[in-house]
Amino acid sequence: MKLTSYQQNLLSDTERLTAFYRIINEKVMGGVVYDLGTGSGVLSSWTAPLARTVYAVEKNPITAKIAQKNLNSFKNVSLIQGDAKTISFPEKADTIICEMMDTALIDEEQVPVLNSVRKYLKPQGDIIPCGVFNGVEALDIDIPYPCYQEEETSNLRVMSKLLIYDKINFKKHIAPEIDYRISLTLNTTGTVSGVKITTFTLLAPDFICGPTPMFNPPLLVPTNQIKGERGDEIILKLKYTMGGGLDTLKAAVETIS
């Protein structure tokens, strides 16, 4: 059974894979590991030699068959085909690996899955990644709908500095509904017509992995248009549901009177 083109692209993202390989080797020191959303099983294959038991969970039945084939040689890996949110695990985890990641955690199930499974983590256990920082910049850009910036965009003009608006710790319960009013100061004169959301992933508390082509590429989001001068402060009204999909994303800008 062949990998899909998406899975092949994931496995070709060497920056992402190198970062996970390093942290898995630093953090997994025996015990029980959950690999939630194992995909083709590559993270489980790196974890198995370091752990007592690995529970590799994959929701998609076709992908689960690929993972099972790839992990057959590891006698301490149990492949579970199903939704991680509904699984009753037979023993608690020393480490949870969950890479159901997406920019701002909007379009993947990282948050609802961890909110469901966190109860199985031992008190001193680790989660890989352990959190994210989300940042936003004002833009002048002409796009009709949200899209990922997978390469340089020539018609994009940055109108403000990057502002970190959210810090999320995966070991704590996460409220999925985001409804923020964010103040941005323009560093140039012109028209604001969108924003760029950038997610920086904490694979460990002291290890940040920036966006890669297949790991949280920046998200470009159109807004209404307002004109501003350098030094003006504007308000970004940003709403979305983490795990709810891009259809939940709403962004609008307004001047401060």
Is the domain of 234 the same as that of 192? Answer: yes
> Mean pLDDT score of the chain, rounded to an integer?
93
Residue 11 pLDDT greater than 60, yes or no:
no
Residue 122's pLDDT is 98
Catalytic (active site) residue 229: no
* Residue 118 domain-assigned (yes or no): no
What's the domain range around 90?
Answer: 5-99
pLDDT in tens, 87-98: 999 999 999 999
- Among candidate residues 15, 58, 91, 108, the one labeled active-site is 108
- The answer to whether the peptide bond before residue 176 is cis (omega within 30 degrees of 0) is no
Catalytic (active site) residue 177: no
Gap between the Cα atoms of 80 and 103, Å rounded = 27
* Residue 39 domain-assigned (yes or no): yes
Is the domain of 239 the same as that of 138? Answer: yes
Is the domain of 145 the same as that of 202? Answer: yes
Residue 24's pLDDT is 97
Instruction: Extract the tokens encoding 71.
Output: 């992990």
Residue 55's pLDDT is 98
Gap between the Cα atoms of 66 and 111, Å rounded = 25
Is the domain of 95 the same as that of 136? Answer: no
pLDDT in tens, 25-60: 999 999 999 999 999 999 999 999 999 999 999 999
Q: How many domains does the chain have?
A: 2
Last residue of a domain, one of 99, 117, 148: 99
Residue found under tokens 């100061």: 185
Is the domain of 236 the same as that of 149? Answer: yes
To 10 degrees, the CA torsion angle through 11, 14, 15, 20? Answer: 60
The phi and psi torsions of 114 (rounded to 5 degrees) equal -65, -35
* Residue 194 domain-assigned (yes or no): yes
- Among candidate residues 58, 91, 99, 233, the one labeled active-site is 99
The pTM of this model reads 0.92
- Using pLDDT thresholds of 50, 70 and 90, give the confidence band for residue 8: low
